Structure 1
Amino acid sequence: MPVIAHLSDLHVSDLHLSDLHLDGGARSVERVRAVMAFLEDLPYDLDAVLVTGDLADHGRPEEYEVLRELLVSRHPVLVLPGNHDERAALRRVLLGEDAADGPVNRVHRGAGFVLALCDSSVPGRPEGLLADETLAWLDGVVERTPAGVPVLVAFHHPPVVLHTPAVDPIRQFGAERLAELAGRRPQIAAFLCGHAHTPAATRFAGRPLLVAPGVVSTLRLPWERPGPDAHPDLPPALAFHVLDGDGRLTTHYRVVPL
């Protein structure tokens, strides 16, 4: 969901990160710092930097305090919760709001696009679900968006099976409700998510579903050589989403050297 500024035929470009899992250790800090240095070194301004959840590993206030310092950028940084996050602490420390337990839903209206950040987390549970109030909120966001302006919908949990045994049982459930909404709202151009710790691209409700890689680790796929669930030593990665003037969305994945 990060967007690179308007370059010749490019309309919107955004940078998409996920699964930082800041845990109080030096390793996660080093990885986030490397990613932020990479995007700060870009020669053009991004329309947005989207971070699709699992910002902290334990949801502790002190983890968000470190993140608040690490995520400082010249680009607009937009965050939403994952299943490892704690809503009240995220709101108070990162967003500067009163602590509250309801879904953390936010909208970013840019030049020629809208980014709807939906909270798919379920407190105390690893799997995801968009609450009825979140779906009603999203419907209202699209309703208030002028005709012809594309809406990108972001959340943490993928709403489909990705053929990854470690993630599929804790994906987003109740996704038929989101698909029904998308069927009524043709302005929704794509869905963006994280949670899977692997770059992936598929479709949901007839739209692209684009999954960001993990910053903290990369999932081991079932057809790779046997081993731990994750490749802890592979470098962090990110996605660039480019929305052109014809409404065509292109995604580029990039590895960030440590």
Structure 2
Amino acid sequence: MLVIAHLSDIHIGGSDRSVERADAVMRYLDALPYDLDAVLVSGDIADHGLAEEYEQARKLLTSRHPVLVCPGNHDVREEFRRVLLGEPAASGPVNRVHRTDAAVYVVCDSSIPGQDAGDLDDETLAWLDGVLAGERDLPVLMAFHHPPVTLHSAVDTIMLERPERLADLLAGHPGVTAVLVGHAHTAAATTFAGRPLLVAPGVVSTLRLPWEGATTLAGCADYALPPGLVFHVLDDDGRITTHHRVVPV
């Protein structure tokens, strides 16, 4: 059995409380009496993609647990790489593989520079196909920012474009156990390409849903609700269970 903490959309620099909320979540995770296999932060690390935002995020996301990150639509690849990852600045997609003793995490870049919607471009899909072809022994968890299916939320207007390309690719790689995303600022669970699709809640805010009175992105963010996260538990037989938590600030 392995346990993963999954959070998303910390948006450092996006509000006065963004740092406080992210810090509360990370302190909660560090205080757990259990060693997590990973802490996954699925995008929108910074709000404006500025170096100083990533510098603050780098300090906040330091943990006794392994921390994995991917870019979102608010992130800027060059500064994300240079400041947050300590790598040379480059404009190509930020795609990475992380291996632990229990699982393989394939973390992809679904951002389109300068746009809010997402896409897994040809370079990323070719890279992903090659990585998945070589993984046979451990369960594989795939992560990126933009949901590839309709969530009945205001973010449906800026979701992952061309999701059928990813679905076709995953059809040839049955070892992918689940797909983990963010972007929606609300926890959700559905399916994609025959796999669980698990959406992390937002840390900086929660987006109200249409039946809660929010039909467009403008003005639908609720900053009063506490930050949230989910724990994904993967059993030895490949079954995944998700638990939801909120963290007082």
- Residues 1:234 and 2:222 are matched in the alignment: no
How many Å separate the matches in 1 of 2:169 and 2:128?
9
Give the Å deviation of 1:96. 0.5
Q: Deviations over 1:64-114 (max 9, x none)?
A: 011111111000111100000000001000100000000000111112311
Q: Which runs of 5+ in 1 are unaligned?
A: 1-10
What TM-score does the superposition give when structure 1 sets the normalisation length? Answer: 0.93
2:152 to 148, 154, 163: 163
What TM-score does the superposition give when structure 2 sets the normalisation length? Answer: 0.96
Give the Å deviation of 1:162. 0.4
Match of 1:253 in 2: 244
Match of 1:152 in 2: 141
How many Å separate the matches in 1 of 2:6 and 2:20?
18
Query: Would the aligned equivalents of 1:54 and 1:195 in 2 still touch at CA under 8 Å?
Result: yes
1:72 to 62, 65, 69: 62
How many Å separate the matches in 2 of 1:72 and 1:207?
31
- Residues 1:121 and 2:121 are matched in the alignment: no
Tell me, what secondary structure is at the counterpart of 2:99?
Answer: strand
The equivalences for 1:3-152 within 5 A come to: 11-23=1-13, 25-147=15-137, 149-152=138-141
Query: Would the aligned equivalents of 1:24 and 1:63 in 2 still touch at CA under 8 Å?
Result: no
1:212 to 200, 211, 235: 200
Give the Å deviation of 1:224. 1.4
Match of 2:170 in 1: 182
Query: Would the aligned equivalents of 2:14 and 2:46 in 1 still touch at CA under 8 Å?
Result: no
Query: Would the aligned equivalents of 2:111 and 2:119 in 1 still touch at CA under 8 Å?
Result: yes
Q: Which runs of 5+ in 2 are unaligned?
A: none
Amino acid at match of 1:79: V
How many Å separate the matches in 1 of 2:15 and 2:182?
22
Tell me, what secondary structure is at the counterpart of 1:241?
Answer: strand
Give the Å deviation of 1:144. 1.2
Root mean square deviation of aligned Cα: 1.2
Tell me, what secondary structure is at the counterpart of 2:231?
Answer: strand
Give the Å deviation of 1:26. 3.4
Q: Deviations over 1:129-179 (max 9, x none)?
A: 0011111111111111124x2211100000001011x20010001110100
Give the Å deviation of 1:25. 4.7
How many Å separate the matches in 2 of 1:72 and 1:113?
21
4+ residue stretches of structure 1 with deviation over 3 A? 225-228
User: Comparing 103-112 with 227-236, which one deviates more in the overlay?
Assistant: 227-236
Higher strand share: 1
How many Å separate the matches in 2 of 1:225 and 1:171?
20
Match of 1:5 in 2: none
Give the Å deviation of 1:230. 1.6
Give the Å deviation of 1:255. 0.5
Residues matched between the structures, number: 246
How many Å separate the matches in 1 of 2:82 and 2:14?
19
